[in-house]
Structure 1
Amino acid sequence: MSIYNKILVVADINNDQQPALARAMKLASKSKSTSHVMFFLSIYDFSYDMTSMLSMDERDAMRRGVIHQREQWMKKVAEPYLSSDVEFEIKVVWHNRPYEAIIAEVFSGSHDILIKGTRTHDVLESVIFTPTDWHLLRKSPCPVLLVKSEYWPEDANIIASVHVGSENETHSDLNDRMVKQLTNLSERLDANSYLVNAYPVTPANITIELPEFDPTTYTDAVRGHHLTSMKALRQKHSFDEEQTIVEQGLPEDVIPEVASRLNAAMVILGTTGRTGLSAVFIGNTAEHVIDKINCDVLALKPHGYVSPLDPQTAV
């Protein structure tokens, strides 16, 4: 099955440079089949809806005028990124909650990836995730790629944060999905692939509560289990040992540190996903990792994830 051939790109209204669109077109241009890119914008101006002196028809006409202006701007800024090999479409909607409009378009257009630019801090060169970013990460039914900058380095590194120490079926399935998409993205973006896993530190209180407990033996056993599990995963997907990294520590510490060490251009994270009311969260570990990463981030949901904004489940 082809991956990421129906791409939804969120326009950055505050910038003529469109890093998300640049990344989307790079992905689409290297697809083995026809790709479709939708360049999408949700706009809203409270004043247009509250002008009591205007009739409904007049307010509608004003909204259409604003939408038309934005469409013309989007055509202009998109021109440098366009390719004759990629189907391209522009869409502007009037909606007071951008993330809801974006996710509604994901559902209606059956897009298989959502790409959006993130804000960067000029002084610290760090990524600042907006409230809309977090809503999309938590509630989008499809993978979300948050792009830091238009520039994509040559011989780039992409890492996938896998969880190999668990026998949980959800984790195993998510690991397989991450590795498959890592392989696909690395091929299309001319990048090097790495699998990274963090295993836990031996709890200090155990040695106090159990004097006969040998922390060294325990740590060696845990590390051995994770190394064996990582070997099984890499062999299953034909990865070399040099492409795998297993280190002790919390994922929210290990993953950003490895990403920095490898100067990674992208980190792929699997979100644990939940059902019911807690589906609005993507998991504390993933959120803590994302907050510390200074590069592109691709967040994947597990099979069976149901977005709280899914129109089929709306009451």
Structure 2
Amino acid sequence: MQKYKNILVVADPEREQQPAISRAIHLAKTCDDVKIIVFLAIYDFSYEMTSMLSSDERDAMRRGVVMQREEWLKEIIQPHTEKNINIEIKVVWHNRPYESIIADVFSQDIDLLIKATHEHAKLGSVIFTPTDWHLLRKCPVPVLLVKGENWPTNGNVLACVNLSAEDETHEDLNDKIIKEAIAFSSITQANVNLVNAYPATPVNITIELPEFDPASYTDAVRGHHLMTMKALRQKYGIDEAQTYVVEGLAEDVIPQVADEINAELVILGTTGRTGLSAVFIGNTAENTIDSLNCDLLALKPDGYISPLAPNSID
């Protein structure tokens, strides 16, 4: 995480406490020459529907709301500006927050996006908003979704790797995820843990093929994943006790292991799948994060092109 120099923080207009800003400040203190931009997109449809006002009057009303929010953000960041941290604010009027956020990612050459999430009052689980989903799918840079608590020292970070696929893209993304976990561990002295979920034996195979031996099949699949995990952990010097190879769906296994080790951060890859494939297949990140009780860092594979990139075609 030490490579991040330009950090865009999405402010939460509903909260006085801004955990996303706190995370950015924490990271800024670990590296020199970090620039933080606190970003807020606001919109009120009622201002657009005030037919009794002229367009100039409506523009003036919008500017007034923007200025009011700018003053609010200035008060929030004031304690941090006194600590010689390079922090700025930007408030825009836009009816699609995720589009304005990603546009700023491109225009400001951002390399990390941080946004707070909402905790459920009763269960403590994290609730992710539609804006979060869009950012996970379409933001070209790493997205850190933050829960309210501070990162503890000597805690645990959980890196989620995919050992099922043998294509180069997934292997490169596994390496990227582990390297990110190791970089994070240098900030909080966290322990790096690896987790991989492997599929259970399909029930329909045992029905359609009576001679099929499900036990042998399961042993073979688990053996493959254990061997691949061994090679990966040895490559990065991670202890065997800090690796987990578990049968089941990733969206079930990852939160389960994260809870077991009391992880403060889960790092996983997201392919940014959109359109019909996202509807029918889904993304592991999206199927996982609603069950997490910690921060999530989502990484895109190298070469990913956002559908909202300038001059891109949807």
- TM-score, L = length of structure 1: 0.91
Give the drift of 1:161: 0.9
Gaps of 5+ in 2: none
| CA distance in 2: counterparts of 1:211 and 1:56, whole angstroms | 74
Aligned to 1:12: 12
Give the drift of 1:87: 1.6
Give the drift of 1:277: 7.1
Letter of the structure 2 residue corresponding to residue 62 of structure 1:
M
Question: Residue 91 in 1 paired to residue 86 in 2?
Answer: no
User: Is residue 143–residue 301 contact of structure 1 (8 Å, CA) maintained in 2?
Assistant: yes
Task: Please give the residue correspondences for 1:122-133 in structure 2 after superposition, counting only pairs within 5 Å.
Answer: 122-133=121-132
Give the drift of 1:292: 1.8
Paired residues, what number? 314
Aligned to 1:271: 270
Aligned to 1:108: 107
Seen in structure 2, the aligned counterparts of structure 1 residues 64 and 148 have a Cα distance that, compared at 3 Å, is same
Letter of the structure 2 residue corresponding to residue 10 of structure 1:
V
Aligned to 1:79: 78
Gaps of 5+ in 1: none
| CA distance in 2: counterparts of 1:108 and 1:204, whole angstroms | 50
| CA distance in 1: counterparts of 2:62 and 2:197, whole angstroms | 51
Aligned to 1:3: 3
Aligned to 2:255: 256
Letter of the structure 2 residue corresponding to residue 292 of structure 1:
S
Aligned to 1:67: 66
User: Is residue 138–residue 272 contact of structure 2 (8 Å, CA) maintained in 1?
Assistant: no
Aligned to 1:152: 151
| CA distance in 1: counterparts of 2:133 and 2:284, whole angstroms | 14
Give the drift of 1:10: 0.4
Give the drift of 1:236: 2.1
Deviation string 1:71-93 (CA, Å, 9 cap, x unpaired) is 11111122344573532111111
Seen in structure 2, the aligned counterparts of structure 1 residues 177 and 153 have a Cα distance that, compared at 3 Å, is same
Report which stretch shifted further, 171-180 or 220-229.
220-229
Question: Residue 24 in 1 paired to residue 28 in 2?
Answer: no
Task: Say which SS state the counterpart of residue 186 (structure 1) adopts.
Answer: helix
Seen in structure 2, the aligned counterparts of structure 1 residues 276 and 302 have a Cα distance that, compared at 3 Å, is farther
Give the drift of 1:45: 2.0
| CA distance in 2: counterparts of 1:164 and 1:17, whole angstroms | 39
| CA distance in 1: counterparts of 2:207 and 2:278, whole angstroms | 38
Aligned to 2:50: 51
Give the drift of 1:100: 1.0
Seen in structure 2, the aligned counterparts of structure 1 residues 135 and 282 have a Cα distance that, compared at 3 Å, is farther
Seen in structure 2, the aligned counterparts of structure 1 residues 311 and 14 have a Cα distance that, compared at 3 Å, is same
Give the drift of 1:314: 4.4
Task: Say which SS state the counterpart of residue 210 (structure 2) adopts.
Answer: coil
Seen in structure 2, the aligned counterparts of structure 1 residues 14 and 130 have a Cα distance that, compared at 3 Å, is same
Identity of aligned residues (%): 63
Letter of the structure 1 residue corresponding to residue 169 of structure 2:
T
Report which stretch shifted further, 290-299 or 278-287.
278-287
Deviation string 1:31-69 (CA, Å, 9 cap, x unpaired) is 2x3111110001112233333343333333322222121
Deviation string 1:106-136 (CA, Å, 9 cap, x unpaired) is 1111111111111111111111111111111
Task: Say which SS state the counterpart of residue 54 (structure 1) adopts.
Answer: coil
Report which stretch shifted further, 53-62 or 99-108.
53-62
User: Is residue 274–residue 281 contact of structure 1 (8 Å, CA) maintained in 2?
Assistant: no
| CA distance in 2: counterparts of 1:81 and 1:152, whole angstroms | 19
Letter of the structure 2 residue corresponding to residue 217 of structure 1:
S
Give the drift of 1:302: 1.4
Letter of the structure 2 residue corresponding to residue 58 of structure 1:
E
| CA distance in 2: counterparts of 1:3 and 1:9, whole angstroms | 16
Aligned to 1:290: 289
